[in-house]
């Protein structure tokens, strides 16, 4: 057995004494899960310990995502000081484009955890959770939307995930933006069909003239926009025509993103994961229909687990010395 400096598990410790830490960081929040290293021990009882963390902010200096992860690691170590952590797996939004040096970030996290770390973009841990380590394509749709087609070894293909300003098609933030666009048109008298969306937006954000000041100045605006997606989904479920159209378009956009991530050298297996899939209804129907049209030879399967499960799986691979090799801009090691 290996030993890890600065607080990791020591040679001679049994699997029962070792733990793995998975961390999932998205635009609306973050979570950490501490589990026994042994999958059998983890499955034998209610052993998972979960902590909720902060929301990521994006400003001129970049993303606060690494600070959010460090805070979670620090809290885990303070709450469970006797847990010997064998490996840490982190899936986080914005790593490839909004963090100056992911290599340095991974080293910082390893120092904070006192254990080896695999730091990955959120699509990688979403993939590990949804397909449980099998090759294929997965689209993760929460605040943002990103897909990855990979065999977790040699083939890596990313589609989307470039931020709510001009991408994240079909995501929670995208839905929120489309709904606010429809609402403001009705507010201005250019249309009359989005009264329900306007009422919902006013209930959530206040009077329409206050929206620019509330949203454009906030570093966490993507998360705020994504929060409004729940209201849009609710209106769609009740039959509102404009909200239903937005959710249908979102589902079709997500299907196109997933289909584009399929790689001929990766198994034709695909899945969707993330909070927006919980909307069901018009979103889910449009997603399944459009994906079947775009990728008729691929198998669309239900996700086996959420991204947090994927982060725990990555942590377990780290602890076993079997994690994917360093492969920027997807995976870094610390």
Tens of pLDDT along 14-38?
A: 555 799 999 999 877 899 999 999 8
What are the structure tokens assigned to 158, written together?
């990313």
Residues of the chain with CATH 3.30.420.40: 15-132+305-333, 136-142+161-303
pLDDT of residue 44: 59
pLDDT of residue 312: 96
Alpha-carbon gap, residue 310 to 248, rounded angstroms: 28
The bridge status of strand 49-53 relative to strand 62-63 is unpaired
pLDDT of residue 113: 93
Domain 15-132+305-333 fold is: Nucleotidyltransferase; domain 5 (3.30.420)
pLDDT of residue 46: 62
pLDDT of residue 12: 42
Let me know if 268 is exposed, middle or buried by CB neighbors in 10 A (0-12, 13-18, 19+).
Answer: middle
Would you say 119 and 92 are in contact if contact means Cβ atoms under 8 Å apart? yes
From the list 79, 160, 122, the residue with the least C-alpha distance to 314 is 122
Alpha-carbon gap, residue 20 to 38, rounded angstroms: 9
Which CATH architecture best describes the domain 136-142+161-303?
2-Layer Sandwich (3.30)
Alpha-carbon gap, residue 269 to 233, rounded angstroms: 28
Alpha-carbon gap, residue 102 to 29, rounded angstroms: 20
pLDDT of residue 4: 30
Alpha-carbon gap, residue 276 to 269, rounded angstroms: 20
Residue 175 is inside which H or E element, if any? helix 172-187
Alpha-carbon gap, residue 257 to 168, rounded angstroms: 9
User: Which residue ranges of the chain lie beneath pLDDT 50?
Assistant: 1-12
Query: H helices within 239-306, ranges in order?
Result: 241-261, 281-294
Is pTM, for the whole model, over 0.85?
yes
Let me know if 139 is exposed, middle or buried by CB neighbors in 10 A (0-12, 13-18, 19+).
Answer: buried
Q: In the 3-class helix/strand/coil scheme, how is 80-119 assigned residue by residue?
A: CCCCEEEEEEEEECCHHHHCCCHHHHHHHHHHHHCCCEEE
- Which residues are CB-contacts of 291 (< 8 A; sequence separation ≥ 6)? 255, 258, 259, 270, 298, 300
pLDDT of residue 129: 97
């Amino acid at each position: 057995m290996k030993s890890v400096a600065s607080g990791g598990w020591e040679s001679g410790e049994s699997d029962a004494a070792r733990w793995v830490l998975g961390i999932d960081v998205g635009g609306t929040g973050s979570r950490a899960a501490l589990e026994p290293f042994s999958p059998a021990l983890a499955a034998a009882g209610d052993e998972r310990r979960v902590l909720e963390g902060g929301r990521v902010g994006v400003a001129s200096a970049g993303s606060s995502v690494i600070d959010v992860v460090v805070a979670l690691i620090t809290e885990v170590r303070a709450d469970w000081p006797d847990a010997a952590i064998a490996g840490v797996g982190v899936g986080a939004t914005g790593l490839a484009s909004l963090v100056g040096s992911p290599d340095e970030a991974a080293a910082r996290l390893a120092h904070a955890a006192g254990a080896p770390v695999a730091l990955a973009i959120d699509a990688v841990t979403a993939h590990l959770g949804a397909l449980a380590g099998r090759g294929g394509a997965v689209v993760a749709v929460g605040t943002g939307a990103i897909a990855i087609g990979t065999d977790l070894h040699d083939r890596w293909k990313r589609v989307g995930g470039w931020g709510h300003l001009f991408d994240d098609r079909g995501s929670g933030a995208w839905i929120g933006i489309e709904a606010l666009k429809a609402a403001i048109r009705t507010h201005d008298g250019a249309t009359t069909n989005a009264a329900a969306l306007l009422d919902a937006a006013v209930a959530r954000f206040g009077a329409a003239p206050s929206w620019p000041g509330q949203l454009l100045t906030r570093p966490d605006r993507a998360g705020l926009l994504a929060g409004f997606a729940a209201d849009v989904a609710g209106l769609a479920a009740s039959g509102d025509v404009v909200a239903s159209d937005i959710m249908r378009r979102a589902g079709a956009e997500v299907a196109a993103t997933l289909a584009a991530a399929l790689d001929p050298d990766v198994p034709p297996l695909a899945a969707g994961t993330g909070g927006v899939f919980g909307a069901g209804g018009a979103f889910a129907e449009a997603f399944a229909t459009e994906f079947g049209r775009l990728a008729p030879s691929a198998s669309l399967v239900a996700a086996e687990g959420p991204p947090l499960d994927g982060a725990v799986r990555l942590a377990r691979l780290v602890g076993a010395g079997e994690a994917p090799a360093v492969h920027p801009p997807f995976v870094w090691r610390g």
